[in-house]
A and B are shown apart, each in its own frame.
Chain A
């Protein structure tokens, strides 16, 4: 059954337009990953408008390619420059750059590419095997389960991202408020639109995301004076890791793959957390933990495998429940919705070509990345030499045109700028933007489920705890919130003890 679907998927993925989109996606993704100062979320938001001109399947293949391509590319900068190309490659700097300093840049780059390929492939197999049965289960979910699940998702995200739960909760609530702008879906009454026609259909998500991520990222980089990349002058040789390197890395790659895939499924888990936890795990179980940070190959292989595996995992909640688990997936969901496709339990059944074509394209994309990346390393090194003063006007151009092209509206440009400044201020004060975006995207679903549940139960809130699945989700959410209080209580207890 799965095999038949996969064959059908490869039929879609091998169509010339889709093959080209996959190639462009992984290439652009690698470029974005290589370049510090621009992450996959901003890049996907920037290129989103292009996908409105093409078939949704082709568009999704390209955008997903950017996401997992960026995970490959990020390691190159971490290893050669000691600056993470994107956030998920932060830990790769620790041992990757040390390996490069010892003249082992080749094996470091090689193992990160091979590890990424192996983990990426394992996670696609996981996605293929898990998504369909889970979707069958999720069909039985009603509004109370959805309400509780969205609450759990948001709370997990707030808990796992950022340093302050309080700030995360505020961002989530602010995102929810922004999602209420526009016509009420049930009654058609306009809300919080300040009498402006442009807000009748709500706040446009593309200019918002572009401002919050694209503009704010550029402003922060300009303020810091650019990235000032200094590339290590070393000969890159021996890209194919030797037998000893493989022996040391294969365990880390396997563990990273499984860990990354599982963390990718969790809301807020994503690629960054996966790479950090993989590094911590490898260090903990290693016979020589003191060598970590001095150039051990396991410290590169594990995290790089984990961040790639997390990409595959993060597509499960989107395709099975219609719930994005991180910002990139939320933007992808926004793209699907703009094409009139709403992901949810019926997504795989309703759009088999899209799902299986997309899965098959990920196999192809991973293979393309492996074949392309190693020979292209000298090119990426040249790209890294482009100064930020040349790069940032170009990034701004993409952001401006991307925002404008959705509705050909100057209003959207103003909106983008307002959100850009807002994003800059929030990030300066350590407020995470991920809960804001996710709450904004999930807001309408949360409200609809909430109101439907109360109508179903004739006003009784007990409906949320009377149904087992909903109760479990709410309990988990509550426990998570409670766990965030533990460090504070411990600290106070320790102070009292002293």
Chain B
């Protein structure tokens, strides 16, 4: 079974190996005239080796470890929700435009954060969206997507 502390070295090992192969394909050139892939290859190989060493150490340490440490905080679900919400915002932004999608984002964030009353969450979202539009869109001249509402 893969333990959670192996995730990062394993991912870095994969990145290192993949980039070494990609660098090889780009061409290493010669020492006299290093090619496009020369340094990326060196770095990729070094990363793979250290990540592999790290993984071996972690695997060895895992067998000695006993008991379960509490790794995640009490509100992990909120983290997942916020990430999903931001992902949805990225998708929604060009379709629904800045004002509508930002309003929805804030409504969701305030509710996720524990603002109980809908009226408070609605008012806070509306206020923040309008204020941010005035500051960034109007004053600083950032062009936000208008989307289907055309706002």
Residues of A within 8 A of B (CB): 49-50, 53, 166-167, 169-170, 173-174, 176-177, 180, 184, 186-187, 189, 191-192, 215, 218-219, 222-225, 388-390, 392-394, 396-397, 400-401, 404-405, 408, 410, 413-414, 417, 420-421, 424-426, 428-429, 431, 446-447, 450-451, 454-455, 458-461
Q: Of A177, A390, A400, A413, which contacts B43 at CB under 8 A?
A: A177
Complex contacts, B90 vs chain A, CB 8 Å: 410, 413-414, 417
- Across the interface, do B12 and A170 meet the contact criterion of CB distance under 8 Å? yes
- Chain B residues packing against A (C-beta within 8 Å): 5, 7-9, 12, 15-16, 19, 22-23, 26, 30-34, 36-40, 43-44, 46-47, 50-51, 53-54, 57, 71-76, 78-79, 82-83, 86-87, 89-90, 93-94, 102, 106, 109-110, 113-115, 124, 128, 132, 136, 140-144
Note all chain B residues with C-beta closer than 8 A to A428: 71
Main secondary structure of the interface of B (DSSP, over half): helix
Of the candidates A191, A401, A417, A429, which one forms a contact with B36 in the assembled complex, judged by CB atoms under 8 Å apart? A191
**Across-interface contacts of A219 in B (CB, < 8 A):** 79, 82-83
- Given A170-B12, A222-B75, A223-B79, residue A417 in contact with residue B43 (CB < 8 A): no
* Interchain CA distance A388-B115 in the complex, whole Å: 11
Q: List chain A residues, Cβ under 8 A from B106.
A: 393, 397
Instruction: Count how many pairs of residues, one from A and one from B, have CB atoms less than 8 Å apart in the complex.
Output: 153
Report the separation of the CA atoms of residues A455 and B94 in the bound assembly, to the nearest whole angstrom: 48
Is B73 touching A170 in the complex (CB atoms < 8 A)? Answer: no
Within the complex, the shortest CB–CB distance from A495 to chain B, in Å, comes to 15
8 CB-based A-B contacts, threshold 8 Å: A50-B140, A177-B16, A223-B72, A401-B142, A405-B142, A413-B93, A421-B83, A459-B31
Closest to A389 in B: B113
Nearest opposing residue in chain A for B93, CB measure:
A410
- A222 to B30, Cβ gap below 8 A? no
Q: Is the CB of B50 within 8 A of A170?
A: yes
The answer to whether A173 and B79 have CB atoms under 8 Å apart is no
Report the minimum CB–CB distance from B98 to chain A (whole Å).
9
Asked if B31 and A394 make an inter-chain contact with CB atoms under 8 angstroms apart, the answer reads: no
Chain A binding surface, main DSSP class: helix
Q: Which residues of A contact B9 (CB under 8 A)?
A: 170
User: Nearest 3 pairs between A and B by C-beta?
Assistant: A389-B113, A459-B32, A459-B31
A173/B43 in contact, CB under 8 A: yes
Cross-chain contact B73 with A225 (CB below 8 angstroms): yes
Whether B136 and A401, one on each chain, are in contact in the complex, defined by CB atoms closer than 8 angstroms, is yes
Give Cα A9–Cα B50 distance, bound, in whole angstroms: 48
| B72 CB to nearest chain A CB (Å) | 7
Contact A192 B40, CB 8 Å, known A389-B113, A429-B5, A431-B8: yes
Q: With A223-B76, A401-B136, A413-B90 known to touch, is A454 a contact of B83 (CB < 8 Å)?
A: no
Are A173 and B114 touching (Cβ within 8 A)? no
Q: A410: which B residues are within 8 A, CB to CB?
A: 90, 93-94
Q: Which residue of A lies closest to B74 (CB)?
A: A225
Apart from A173-B46, A446-B39, A454-B34, list 9 A-B contacts with CB within 8 A: A177-B19, A191-B37, A225-B73, A392-B109, A392-B113, A393-B128, A431-B8, A459-B30, A459-B31
Contact B114 A223, beta carbon cutoff 8 Å: no
CA distance in complex: A49, B39 (Å): 32
Would B83 and A177 count as touching, CB distance under 8 A? no
CB nearest to A224 among chain B residues: B73
Which residue on chain B has the smallest CB distance to residue A426? B8
Contact among B36, B50, B75, B142 with A408 in the assembled complex (CB-CB below 8 Å) = B142
**Minimum CB distance partner of B49 in chain A:** A173
Most chain B Cβ neighbours within 10 Å, of A170, A429, A454: A170
